[in-house]
Structure 1
Amino acid sequence: MLAPLLILVTCAWMPSRANHVFHIRNQCSQTVWVGILGNHLLEQGGFQLNRGSRRDITVPDQFSGRFWGRTGCDSHGVCVTGDCGHRIQCNGAGGQPPATLAEFTLGGYGGQDFYDVSLVDGYNLPLKIVPVAGSYAKGSGQYYCAVAGCERDLNSMCPGELQIHHGGRTVACQSACAKFNTDAFCCRGSHGTPQTCPTFSFAQAFKKACPLAYSYAYDDKASTFTCRGSPHTSYTIQFC
């Protein structure tokens, strides 16, 4: 009768695969409604995060998806930026561009994570990703377990033709692709390769202001970060 009991005890102490911890912080002067979209439904896809607040969530290994901040949401979930179908919990719906994105692919080959902060779909809030010290293995390189993000207020320097206004102020900055819908700006058609879609003026301005963020579709080499967990990396996602 002891053998089954030992098996149960052993199983009870087996570590869970779902042990990445994400610390989501709102350092903005306003409330942020966090949106989440990925291959696992986390927190029903979103939640309200008051200014100065923090929420810790557990993210499963093999998660692939994105986090973004929504602003100016009312009680029905209708948001000025980053809206996900007029709901507080996005529940599998993506965010309406423009919005700054924190993107993750966790537990890849050899347990390696990939992450970046992307401005490809435009910008609405400062955002950064910080791997938590002590949760990852030692490594080297500029893009290994380093801070990724855009901490500048790009709304204040957004070109006039890309600005989104609400209440008399600029609340977001569109991507050139969304605004002009050309192959050159969208890196498609004859411009659909890294060789034929080099960085253009709008992307150059974003990259200069935020060198640690993705600025256009083929900005991989200067924007994609990796981190190997020990055993699984935890991350801080900070708005503003």
Structure 2
Amino acid sequence: MALLSDHQHSSEMAFVFVLLLVLEGVSGATFTFVNKCDYTVWPGVLGKPDLGTTGFELSKGSSRSFQAPPGWSGRFWARTNCKFDDSGHGTCATGDCGSGGVACNGASASPPATLAEFTIDPAGSKDFYDVSLVDGYNLPMMVEANGGSGSCATTGCAADLIRRCPSELKADGGDACKSACDAFGKPEYCCNGDFGSPSTCRPSMYSEIFKSVCPKAYSYAYDDKTSTFTCAGADYTITFCPSSSPSLKSASIGVDAQQSVEQAAVATSSWIANLATSHSTSLHPSISLLLLLPLILIVSFS
């Protein structure tokens, strides 16, 4: 009888809580997905309570919105190069959730995939959100808060990290960039085992490459201080392949020169990362560094 009484009391309290939210006008948040890629993507959804979808098709130039209830928590990502038959069965080249269909049905993305993560406050106070590269990267993504109060910063990664991806992190097919954890499985990259705390797991040379290009996105598991954002009472727009204005630097030196600088930066960063993980060239480090000095100077002063 005591157990029954406790259950009834819990149910009554839950009902009262929901009623209070309704009376106070707490309505959660609207998520709007916008596809600015030159191709169709298939967003995946993992979270609770149910948004009414766990995966859908989003053609080039289109958008779609969903209402999230107060207290919703979960993640979004985009699947690319998907092939589904007329019955909706198929797979995707990146971000596949393993469900064998358009709906992910409670499964998350297979790395590498760019993730957008949210927790909507049940009382209408601070929402928490971020864009994460901890599981790797498969396309540019930006998150923008609309109509909220607080810092409400735009975050994400608009850069083409596949072009900047070190060769040892490139996924099969070359259409995604792995995290160092996914590529090597070492505890120091995965922040587990003896490296399972903020004091023992530090940024790696690989995560620093991601961070330098996308400073607002999570680059490793404990990258909280510069990568988690808050906003109260906002709606959110998640844009895949957001357009970005060319920087003054690229406009002044020309496209071809900019590409050469970027290629030099990738080569230099990859070599330094390899050196840190004992995969470097057979030359003595000091000699190799001297040989690469012109590349480093190009990147530093361009």
Q: Aligned ranges for residues 31-46 of structure 1 at < 5 Å?
A: 31-46=40-55
- Tell me, yes or no, if structure 1 residue 239 matches structure 2 residue 240: yes
* Residues 77 and 216 (structure 1), Cα distance of their counterparts in 2 relative to 1, 3 Å cut: same
Per-residue deviation at 1:41?
Answer: 2.4
| Overall identity of the aligned pairs, in % | 51
Q: TM-score, normalised by structure 2?
A: 0.68
Map 1:77-92 → 2, pairs under 5 A:
77-85=90-98, 86-92=100-106
Distance in 1 of aligned mates of 2:219 and 2:123: 26
Structure in which a larger fraction of residues adopt strand: 1
State the partner residue of 1:115: 129
Q: Is the counterpart of residue 198 in structure 1 residue 202 in structure 2?
A: yes
With a CA cutoff of 8 Å and minimum separation of 6, indicate the structure with the bigger relative contact order: 1
1:220 to 219, 224, 227: 224
Cα distance 1:61–1:77, how it changes in 2: closer, same or farther (>3 A)? farther
What TM-score do you get using the length of structure 1 for normalisation?
Answer: 0.85
Could you tell me how far 1:218 is from its partner in structure 2? Answer: 0.6
Letter of the aligned partner of 1:183 in structure 2? Answer: P
**Distance in 1 separating the partners of 2:112 and 2:203:** 19
Partners of 1:110 and 1:128 lie apart in 2 by: 23
Q: How many residues align?
A: 216
Match of 1:159 among 161, 166, 169: 166
Greater mean alpha carbon deviation, residues 113-122 or residues 54-63: 54-63
Q: Which residue of 140, 148, 152 maps to 1:136?
A: 148
Structure 2 counterpart of 1:31, which letter? T
What is the rounded CA distance, in whole Å, between the counterparts of 1:66 and 1:18 in structure 2? 19
Q: Structure 2: state its 5+ residue gaps.
A: 1-21, 242-302
Instruction: From the superposition, tell whether residues 153 and 162 of structure 1 become closer, same or farther in structure 2 (CA, over 3 Å).
Output: same
Structure with max Cα Rg: 2
> SS where residue 48 of structure 1 aligns?
coil
Alignment of 1:61-76 (within 5 A): 61-75=70-84, 76=89
CA–CA separation in structure 2 for the residues paired with 1:110 and 1:193: 31
Q: Does the 8 A contact of 2:46 with 2:75 survive in 1?
A: yes
What 5-or-longer segments of structure 1 have no aligned partner?
Answer: 1-12
Please say if 1:52 is aligned against 2:64. no
Q: CA deviation at 1:196?
A: 1.2
Distance in 2 of aligned mates of 1:43 and 1:71: 22
Kindly indicate whether the alpha-carbon contact (under 8 Å) linking 2:48 and 2:74 is maintained by their aligned counterparts in 1: yes
Amino acid at match of 1:213: A
- Counterpart Cα distance in 2 of 1:45 and 1:107: 21
Query: How many Å apart are 1:17 and its aligned residue?
Result: 4.4
Q: 2:154 aligns with which of 143, 147, 158?
A: 147
Between the aligned partners of 2:27 and 2:197, the Cα distance in structure 1 is: 36
Q: CA RMSD in A?
A: 1.8
